[in-house]
Amino acid sequence: MPQYRRAKGSMFFFTVVLADRSGTLLVDHVDRLRQIYRTIQKRRPFETVAICVLPDHLHAIWALPEDDPDFSSRWNLIKGGFSRGLETGACSASKLRKREKGIWQRRYWEHAIRDDADLERHVDYIHFNPVKHGLVTRVRDWSLSSFHRYVGQGTLPADWGGDMRDIVGQFGG
């Protein structure tokens, strides 16, 4: 079992999803997402413990400062900054009133990390997610993940998660 380094502050797991689950907007514009993310992280500091960007959603674990646990404002700034300047289709009257472009789902999922075991489960979930969604057969083959940072730090081996092609072959697939 890997020993993940527990960050100081309040720690939360997030799932943030695009309104159009069939699109690839996040990976198509990943440089834009990175730039906005870094800008907000500098303005309203937080530590990214783990992250994975997929075509239509992302998962992240943040450690927030003890004196500023407001993750909602941070996500609002990230989502708004990413959306600004992107072309979208027609929006409903409700979205227009709320100054939304319809790129993101209005809400997101958050979960307070309770302990080290909970942290480990969620980091593993984040890193394995591209395999779960059939985007790659090995965790290491998805570049938009903090998995590679964990390998570089020696926290996880490069072959962590195995190779799904091996498993399929064992069952006659």
pTM of the model: 0.85
- E strands within 3-156? 10-17, 47-53, 57-64, 109-112
Instruction: Note whether residue 30 is domain-resident.
Output: yes
Instruction: Note whether residue 65 is domain-resident.
Output: yes
- Angle, in degrees to the nearest 10, between helices 30-43 and 71-83: 140
Instruction: Note whether residue 4 is domain-resident.
Output: no
Farthest-apart Cα atoms in the chain, separation: 55
Instruction: Note whether residue 89 is domain-resident.
Output: yes
Instruction: Note whether residue 1 is domain-resident.
Output: no
Instruction: Note whether residue 5 is domain-resident.
Output: no
Instruction: Note whether residue 141 is domain-resident.
Output: yes
Token pair recorded at residue 80 = 């708004």
How high is the pLDDT of residue 67? Answer: 92
- E strands within the chain? 10-17, 47-53, 57-64, 109-112
How high is the pLDDT of residue 95? Answer: 42
Q: Which domain range does residue 128 map to?
A: 10-170
Q: How many domains does the chain have?
A: 1
Instruction: Note whether residue 2 is domain-resident.
Output: no
Q: What does each of the 173 residues of the chain score in pLDDT, given as a tens digit?
A: 465 554 556 999 999 999 999 999 999 999 999 999 999 999 999 999 999 999 999 999 999 999 999 999 999 999 999 999 886 654 444 444 444 458 999 999 999 999 999 999 999 999 999 999 999 999 999 999 999 999 999 999 999 999 988 765 554 44
CATH number at residue 110: 3.30.70.1290
